[in-house]
Amino acid sequence: MKPLSTRDRILGGLWGASVGDALGVPVEFKNRFVLSSDPITGMRGHGSHHQPAGTWSDDTSLTLCAIESLLYGFNTDDMGQRFVDWLQQNRWTPWGDVFDIGLTTMDALSRVAKGTKAEEAGSRDEHSNGNGSLMRILPLALLFASEPVDLLLDHVHRASAITHGHPRSQMACGFYCMLVAKLLKGFTPLDAYLQTVEEFNSHYQKEPLFAAQLPRFSRLISGNIHVKNSDDIVSSGYVLHTLEASIWSLLTSNSFAETVLKAVNLGGDTDTTGCVAGGLAGVFYGSRAIREDWIKILARKGDLDCLYHEFADLCETKKGS
């Protein structure tokens, strides 16, 4: 088999995130004990949100809005307005209706709609550290992966702040994007994780505002999250839980399918854990590793295909420039 190209990995990340999201939608909020007797093994319809099989959530919708914005350059006000258009005008929804949104995201987008600058809209409150920016941050990682880490993280922090401005959420997005950048280069998941731990510590110790948050990341930056038992992995909507669960799922699996199914069957915030884990696994295993029937059933598959290929073109152009 030919080695994976960067394009394969980019498309793998994008499709992987959407597939993981759609796998998780019908069982969102179910706990892992319930799922252990009726696990997700493929695309399922109805369930928690009464949606057809292949329906993706706000995770993919906001990712699509971010991609669309990035096609015209990095502009957080433009990106924020597209998020508002999703909320108010159903932009990039699977079936023309918003059926799921987090309160922190709702509050932030309400502020953007009233004229607040996008980068100032996201709450800085410690209790506003849900996973609402982590779930949509993948395009930033893919587009700016080859940039110096300081520039990559500056873009990531600013994009996160549209809805989630607390340093902890920004750092979680930063860890994820640094990890994606290494997977995109072909590092194994474990090597990419260990190198990201080192880089994360080095970068975030420099600024007191971020350094103060490092103890919150102690489990992740210990370098041994992969040796944890599943009982030690929490899969709630808290940003660090989602980050840990997604990375654990990648590191303890041997295929794309195993990664996303393991992530979803942890229960809880299943769509976002599936989405975030699917992005990682898709980048590592590539688009060819994703089951074709899972991609074919996705809502608006043709629209996704066009947008993802256009964005992959942009990423490749940027990498070559």
DSSP state of 198: H
Q: Is 97 annotated as a binding residue?
A: no
* Residue 180 and residue 142 in contact, taking contact as beta carbons nearer than 8 Å: yes
* Residue 277 and residue 20 in contact, taking contact as beta carbons nearer than 8 Å: yes
User: Tokens standing for 226?
Assistant: 């992969």
Residue type at position 13: G
Q: Is 57 annotated as a binding residue?
A: yes
What's the rounded Cα separation, in Å, for the pair 232 and 219?
A: 11
What's the rounded Cα separation, in Å, for the pair 57 and 310?
A: 22
What's the rounded Cα separation, in Å, for the pair 204 and 171?
A: 8
What's the rounded Cα separation, in Å, for the pair 282 and 140?
A: 15
What's the rounded Cα separation, in Å, for the pair 147 and 131?
A: 25
Q: Is 6 annotated as a binding residue?
A: no
Residue among 253, 257, 220 at smallest CA distance from 239: 220
What's the rounded Cα separation, in Å, for the pair 321 and 163?
A: 31
CA 296: distance to chain centroid?
21
Who's near 247: CB < 8 A, 6+ residues apart? 179, 193, 220, 225, 226, 277, 280
Q: Is 271 annotated as a binding residue?
A: yes
* Residue 107 and residue 123 in contact, taking contact as beta carbons nearer than 8 Å: yes
Q: Is 232 annotated as a binding residue?
A: no
Torsion of the alpha carbons at 146, 151, 153 and 156, rounded to the nearest 10: -90
Residue tagged 């080859």 (tokens): 146
Q: Is 272 annotated as a binding residue?
A: yes
Binding residues: 57-59, 269, 271-272
Binding residues for Mg(2+): 57-59, 269, 271-272
